Amino acid sequence: MTADAVAVGAPQLQVELRGVGKSFGGTPVLQGIDLVITPGEVHGLVGENGAGKSTLSKIIAGLYSADEGTLVVDGEEIDFGSPREALAHGIATIAQELALVPALTVAENVFLGREPRTAGFIDRRELKKRYIALADRAGFTLDPDRPVGSLRIADQQKVEILRALARGASFIIMDEPTAALSGKDTELLHGVVRQLAASGHTVLLISHFLSEVLELCDTVTVLRDGKHIRTAPTAEETETSLIEAMLGRSLGSVFPEKSAPPLGGTAEVLTVRDLVAPGVNGVSFSVRAGEIVGLAGLVGAGRSEIAHAVYGAVPRAGSVAVNGRELGGSTIGAAIRGGVFLIPESRKEQGLVLQRAVRENVTLSNLGGLSSGGWIRTATEAREARGMLDRVTVQGDERRSVSALSGGNQQKVLFARALQRARHVLIADEPTRGVDVGSRRGIYDLIAEQARAGIGVVVISSDVEEVLGLAHRILVIRGGRIVAELEGARMTEANVITAAFAEPAPSEEL
Amino acid sequence: MSDTITTPKPTNILRRVPWRTIAIVFPFFAVFIALAIGSPAFLSAQNVGNVLDRQSGILIVAAASTLVLIAGGIDLSIGATYMFTAVVCGTLIVKVGGVAGAVLGITVGILAGLLVGIINGVVSTYLRINPLIATLAMSFIILGATKLVSQFGKQGIGQIRVDVPEFRWLATTKPLGVSLPTWIAFVILVILAIVLWRTTFGRYVYAAGGNVEAARLAGIRVNLVRISTFALSGLAAGIAGVIDLARTPSVPENDSIATTLTFTVLAGIVVGGTSILGGEGAIWRTVFGILFIAMLYNGFTLLRIDPLFQGIALGVIILIAVGFDAWSKLRRR
């Protein structure tokens, strides 16, 4: 166990997984993974949410230990007990949340905790010298005296990488490094990864952006449902081939076929008149039975606020009627009794009770119907929950904690809850946020199915394509008002975006 | 837990045991066995009966407080409420006298607790005052009110004593050889445990503490749920105050009785493993927690260890309990 890898250019590591398996609470997350990561390459790791990418990287990084199989580093079987041990062997992870001290300078951050000292005082000159030597070898140029807090995120990531290198890391794991970055920073970070590869480091890159993987990686590994699907040179892959490997099927249409828009005479299930609430400045619209209405607009335009006001989650003025009958009051209870249900935009903060079981989360809004005199009829509840979960295609034991599910399945659990109560109107706020490609179609199908069953659906999304793909009619929101109503041929991305941004309504020229 | 997956290694079954939730059971039985061996008096029917009798009030309060904590609140006024109801009850017994006095004392005492609980609930939900602060403030107010009532009750007498058979039967009756307070505590614990486990209200309590916003958007009237838990906690403090008055039977006069009760109850809940962050917990865990502390104190007495060390031991135990909880959450990843 020689752990004194001193500087950059340290021995390159061959990391190998042999039959690695890992489960959480009885659910296998990884099964029989055999994988060799060749020294000096940029190795991409792709897969849907819940495919096991992060778990795999965490096993290599020493955050988890494998239940089955072995991790082999340079021919030696190792079970890292902690990230510290992994780092001692030259393996470091660059996390999405950076652990830097903003007030300290670049060089101080890089050598934090191992500053060169003379008689107890930090030797600044030596610090700078070492920093420059290190940065040179890595091929980075960053001013050592800049406070880290003043740097762009991509540059902060560089600092984080340099810190890992200063500790002798030669195998760098990057988990979604560009997920939170703007276009410019993404470019910069891509440069960093290339630089690392050029200076002889091995990089394991986990990313949702397939174009990024194809551009940067030498080799790419696809995981699906915790299993290793294939590892191939990137040159042999395309975006389509990767997606098909991730999904395990060919890539069909992203959106379900639209049902015919309801005819003019179809009854309105939801009628909103002069709605005023915090962030909502006088909104009137209606939704007919079987119609999907999309609310588009920029973040903060007031779309979710409209949904909350209709649902009675905030105090409101104006009228909200379901099937022509005014709701009894502006409370959530009145909305639910009227057959309106909201699937909120943030499932973790507003939707699920994460500590509780899947089953309880499904039935939370419908307990009144599953109990007599406050006493829950558990057999009925179990049957109801199972039936609902089958409808939204969530498998597995519904007694486990809902936090164990993937993002897509968590969203489906919320749909399962909504299906019991949304008798007339379903409002889905950002229904596919944080949901992987494979589960998206399932959620779109659920939305389309509701509309076909005669329910009026309101879909709120920041993803213009999603709104266009699903809705019969689009309302563009800006400043808490409806600024455009688009239907039929006028439903184009250009029109939506123009209306969302520009002051004059685009309808005149068209 | 059913076996849905087919690659079970023998360790998997052990892994699936929710160690974190049953953690309290191990130290409890360790101390239990140690005391049973170390002190012959410990397992005697009389000693066990005495311990349970003395803990009945605390257990009732702790069970209701567990609901408050699970729903995401905290009630620091339970001790004060407990004392207040005892004083109200004692004063009425002395002033009215006879069977009427006893009945009136018991009823009004318990209702006074309920009233305090409802006020706590309303203040900490609709008035949006943090429950920690709200109930702390309330406990000062209640302690003040307690002194007011007891001055009115005393009027010349040194200390209010309610050693009248019309009232004392509450503590002295022993159906099937077990004291009535123990029976009452047992029944209340079972009821609250079932409420939490099998009723819609119980579900709402967990949901309100686990994720308020999600509970609200799911259509649960979160404020009402929280007020109900505070009301139950006040009601429980009322019942406990009356029961303990019948046991002692002199009206408590020292404020430290209130603080000690509050702290012991919270300590028991935490040692039992109910999270003070809400959303998690169970009545049976609280019972283990409270009885664990009681057993430890009892052991100190039986083994003639300086009571000075009781507090120190309790503090260490709380730190271990909370530390273990944090550690096991970390390991769960």
ipTM: 0.85
Domains A15-247 and A268-345+409-501 share a fold: yes
3-state secondary structure string, chain B? CCCCCCCCCHHHHHHHCCHHHHCCHHHHHHHHHHHHHHCCCCCCHHHHHHHHHHHHHHHHHHHHHHHHHHCCCCCCCHHHHHHHHHHHHHHHHHHHCHHHHHHHHHHHHHHHHHHHHHHHHHHHHCCCCCHHHHHHHHHHHHHHHHHHHHHHHHCCCCCCECCCHHHHHHHHCCHHHCCHHHHHHHHHHHHHHHHHHHEHHHHHHHHHHHCHHHHHHCCCCHHHHHHHHHHHHHHHHHHHHHHHHHHCCECCCCHHHHHHHHHHHHHHHHHHCCCCCCCCCCHHHHHHHHHHHHHHHHHHHHCCCCCHHHHHHHHHHHHHHHHHHHHHHHHCC
Task: Please give the pLDDT value at position A393.
Answer: 87
pLDDT of residue B140: 94
pLDDT of residue B201: 96
Domain ranges of chain A: 15-247, 268-345+409-501
Q: How far is A33 from chain B (nearest CA, A)?
A: 15
With bands split at pLDDT 50, 70 and 90, how would you rate the model's confidence at A404?
confident
Nearest to A312 by CA among A261, A353, A270: A270
Q: Please, which pLDDT band fits residue B110 given cuts at 50, 70 and 90?
A: very high
Long-range CB contact pairs, A258-262, < 8 A, 24+: A258/A292, A258/A448, A258/A470, A258/A472, A259/A290, A259/A448, A259/A451, A259/A452, A261/A291, A261/A472, A261/A473, A261/A487, A262/A288, A262/A289, A262/A290, A262/A291, A262/A472
Please state the rounded mean pLDDT for residues A361-389.
93
Contact B216 A332 (CB under 8 A): yes
Strand duo A325-326 + A340-343: pairing: unpaired
CA distance B117 to B112: 9
- The residue-averaged pLDDT of B261-279 equals 90
| A151: pLDDT strictly greater than 90 | no
A414 touches chain B (CB under 8 A): no
Measured CA distances, A93 to A96, A99, A109 (Å): 9, 11, 16
More reliable by pLDDT, A101 or B63: B63
Q: How confident is the model at residue B6 (pLDDT cuts 50, 70, 90)?
A: very low
Taking CB atoms and an 8 Å limit, are A354 and B211 in contact across chains? yes
CATH level 3 topology of B52-318 = ABC transporter involved in vitamin B12 uptake, BtuC (1.10.3470)
The answer to whether A425 contacts chain B (CB < 8 Å) is no
Per-residue pLDDT at A157: 82
Mean pLDDT, residues A53-79 taken together = 88
Q: How many CB pairs under 8 A join A and B?
A: 97
Cβ contact (<8 Å) for B213 and A349?
yes
Residue B268 has pLDDT above 60, yes or no: yes
Please, is B30 exposed, middle or buried when counting C-beta atoms within 10 Å of its C-beta (0-12, 13-18, 19+)? Answer: exposed
Query: What is residue A295's three-state secondary structure?
Result: strand
Where b means 16+ CB within 10 Å and e means fewer, A439-470 reads bbbbbbebbbbbbeebbbbbbbbbebebbbbb
Q: Is the CB of A333 less than 8 angstroms away from the CB of B4?
A: no
Q: What is the pLDDT of residue A124?
A: 85
| pLDDT above 90 coverage of chain A, percent | 37
| Residue of A350, A372, A401, A411 to mutate for B, most B C-beta atoms under 10 A | A350
Q: Return all residues near A389 (Cβ < 8 A) that are at least 6 apart.
A: A358, A362, A395, A398, A412, A413, A416
Q: Give the pLDDT confidence score for residue A8 in this predicted structure.
A: 42
**Is A222's pLDDT higher than 70?**
yes
Q: Please say whether the dihedral angle defined by the alpha carbons of residues A199, A204, A209 and A215, taken in this order, is positive or negative.
A: positive
pLDDT for B1 equals 37
pLDDT of residue A315: 92
Q: With beta carbons less than 8 A apart as the criterion, state whether A457 and A289 touch.
A: no
* Whole-number pLDDT of residue A139: 75
Under the banding of pLDDT at 50, 70 and 90, the label for residue B4 is very low
Helix (H) or strand (E) holding A154: helix A153-166
CA-angle at B308, arms to B306 and B314, nearest 5°: 110
Least confident stretch, A60-69, A187-196, A355-364, B223-232: A187-196
Contacts of A349 in chain B (CB under 8 A): 211, 213-214
Q: Is the CB of B5 less than 8 angstroms away from the CB of A26?
A: yes
Does the pLDDT value for residue A1 go beyond 60? Answer: no
| Choice between B256 and A24, residue whose per-residue pLDDT is larger | B256
Closest chain B C-alpha to A86 CA, distance in angstroms: 18
To test the contact with chain A by mutation, choose from B2, B6, B7, B195 the residue with the greatest count of A C-beta atoms within 10 A, namely B7
Q: Where are the domains of chain B?
A: 52-318
Say what percent of chain A tops pLDDT 70: 93
Contact residues on chain A for B15, CB-CB shorter than 8 A: 25-26
A446/A394 Cα distance (integer angstroms): 12
Q: Regarding the domain delimited by A15-247, which CATH topology (the fold level of the hierarchy) does it fall under?
A: Rossmann fold (3.40.50)
Identify the CATH homologous superfamily for domain A268-345+409-501: P-loop containing nucleotide triphosphate hydrolases (3.40.50.300)
Q: Cβ contact (<8 Å) for A367 and B2?
A: no
- Confidence tier at B14 by pLDDT (50, 70, 90): low
User: Is residue A2 over pLDDT 70?
Assistant: no
pLDDT of residue B156: 62
Mean pLDDT of the region B17-46: 83
Cβ–Cβ gap A371/B218 under 8 Å? no
Query: Chain B within 8 Å of A238 (Cβ-Cβ)?
Result: no
Residue B153, pLDDT > 80, answer no
* Residue B10 pLDDT class (50, 70, 90 cuts): very low
**Of residues B109, B146, B114, B152, the one with CA closest to residue B246:** B109
Report the residue of chain A nearest B206, measured CA to CA. Answer: A356
Distance of CA A131 to the CA centre of its chain: 36
Supply φ then ψ for residue B6, to 5 degrees: -105, 65
Specify the pLDDT at position B124: 92
Look at residue B61 and tell me whether its pLDDT is greater than 50. Answer: yes
